[in-house]
């Protein structure tokens, strides 16, 4: 019988700890998330859709920057958030985007 020790599990894919968010950000206020994934319109559209569905387009500013080869894309979201719950929910949604390989 084999089992995996909790010490060998991958870290949970979640927002930064609530305590850190509350200690370092004022609410309501601005919050920035950077999502890195494959180049092309599908990744950008999926990240944008996640943010727009949760916060509405009027509270989301999107910028993107592709690598020189165009193989990778960074989508920067500048958000107008009301509560810490919105940040936590958005991280959860972005983690479900196909192709995501890093979120800051």
- The 10 Å Cβ neighbour count of residue 39 is 17
**Two tokens, residue 22:** 């509350």
Residue 2 Cα distances to 5, 8, 16, 67, 69, angstroms: 10, 13, 32, 42, 43
pTM over 0.95: no
- The pLDDT, as a whole number, for residue 66 is 94
> Do 34 and 51 form a contact (C-beta atoms < 8 A)?
no
- The pLDDT, as a whole number, for residue 1 is 40
Q: For the stretch 48-82, what's the b/e string if a residue is b when 16 or more beta carbons lie within 10 angstroms of its beta carbon?
A: bebbeebbeeebbeeeeeeeeeeebbbbebebebe
Tens of each residue's pLDDT in the chain, 104 residues: 443 434 443 345 677 788 888 888 888 999 999 999 999 889 999 999 999 999 999 999 999 999 999 899 999 999 999 999 999 999 999 999 999 999 99
- The pLDDT, as a whole number, for residue 8 is 40
Domain annotation for the chain: domains and CATH numbers? 13-103 (3.30.70.260)
Cis peptide before 18 (omega within 30 of 0): no
């Amino acid at each position: 019988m084999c089992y995996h020790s909790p010490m060998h599990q991958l870290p949970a894919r979640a927002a930064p700890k609530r305590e850190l968010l509350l200690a370092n950000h004022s609410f309501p206020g601005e919050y920035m998330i950077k999502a890195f994934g494959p180049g092309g319109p599908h990744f950008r559209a999926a990240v944008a859709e996640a943010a727009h569905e949760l916060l509405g387009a009027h509270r989301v500013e999107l910028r993107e920057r592709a690598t020189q080869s165009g193989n990778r894309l960074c989508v920067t979201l500048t958000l107008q958030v009301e509560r810490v719950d919105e940040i936590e929910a958005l991280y959860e949604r972005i983690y479900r985007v196909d192709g995501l390989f890093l979120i800051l």
